[in-house]
Amino acid sequence: MEENCKIPIPIDNGENVLRAAISPYHFKKKSKELHHKVFKSRPAGTDDVSMMRHDYLGLDFCMRKGQEIVSGIAKSDVTFEGFVQLTAEQIRSCNSDVIDTREVYCGHVSMRHGFVVQEGEPMDSRANLDLDNRTKALLKICKYPL
């Protein structure tokens, strides 16, 4: 737990959160448009979609963190393309949630959909449809590029 973190734990509905958009993972192959899978969790076995508390961290910190995330990926074709912005209220309106996960770093939040898929196991078809519907709804209301 980040003991010196001065950011309040509760996340107000109006708070803006950012998700780093990383190519090629979060984009459609042919059209290069942002794909709804930008809002799906990785790795398997988790329900955490990493995001940042923009209102508290500021854009400069978030930009540095986005670059840091990409530099930690070993593949050479990976690039940081910018941010996807949502409010906590928008996330919650799609039946998902956003929670403070400062144990990762101060200002980190996780969007959670309530579905955990284990490595090598198929997701239940109803759950998969529900997750796709949520992530597609989020894609329609998000702001990209920021």
pLDDT digits (tens, 9 = 90+) for 88-137: 999 999 999 999 999 999 999 999 999 887 888 888 899 999 999 999 99
- pLDDT of 2 strictly over 70: no
Task: Identify the pLDDT of residue 129.
Answer: 95
User: Of the candidates 112, 113, 104, 101, which has an alpha carbon nearest to the alpha carbon of residue 9?
Assistant: 101
The whole-angstrom separation of Cα 143 and Cα 88 is 13
The stretch 36-56 carries a mean pLDDT of 91
Q: Worst-scoring range by mean pLDDT, 1-5, 25-29, 53-57?
A: 1-5
In this prediction, residue 1 carries a pLDDT of 53
Residue 43 has pLDDT above 80, yes or no: no
Q: Give long-range contacts, CB 8 A cutoff, 24+ apart: 60-68.
A: 61/107, 62/18, 65/20, 65/105, 66/20
Q: What mean pLDDT, rounded, does the chain reach?
A: 93
